[in-house]
Amino acid sequence: MVRTLLVVLADDISATAATLALYAGRGVRTVVHSQNEEVRQRAALLGVAHVETADPYDLIKTYEPQVVVCDHNGPLRETKLAVYRTGIPDKFYLTATEGATVVENGAHAAQDHYYRDLDRTNAPLPENDLFAGLSEKD
């Protein structure tokens, strides 16, 4: 199974830019959902494999991501419902100004902070990898 990260954004990519660049660089299939053209363009520049405007529910069903991130300004209710209704992602995070999960991308000297809303892996906190607790096969 291909490791997949779905990030759902509204009109700003800055809270997830380091994370997207890091995981795209590691070969994780990265998918960004946004209705904002500027966000989609910036995501493509960061190496995001798939930039979509489709409904988060449809994207989860299509890509079967192990990890979903939603910006707190994004379509949170819609995304959270999709996460819980599909039962597909093992982990669901919300962006935060501070958080128990910090993803650090040394190449860009940036940190992104997340609040973990769902974790079916029971990975201990704090963590510095959104895929913590998932086996390499996941």
In a domain, residue 133? The reply is no
| pLDDT exceeds 90 at position 83 | yes
> Quick check: 138 pLDDT over 90?
no
The total number of structural domains that make up the chain: 1
- 129, pLDDT greater than 70: yes
Q: What is the pTM of this model?
A: 0.93
- Residue 131 maps to a domain: no
- End-to-end CA gap in the chain: 6
- Tell me if 79 is assigned to some domain: yes
The verdict on residue 134 lying in a domain is no
The DSSP string of 102-128 is EEEEGGGTEEEEEEEEEESS-PPSSBS
In a domain, 123, yes or no: no
- What range does the domain containing 86 cover? 4-116
| CATH, residue 60 | 3.40.50.10320
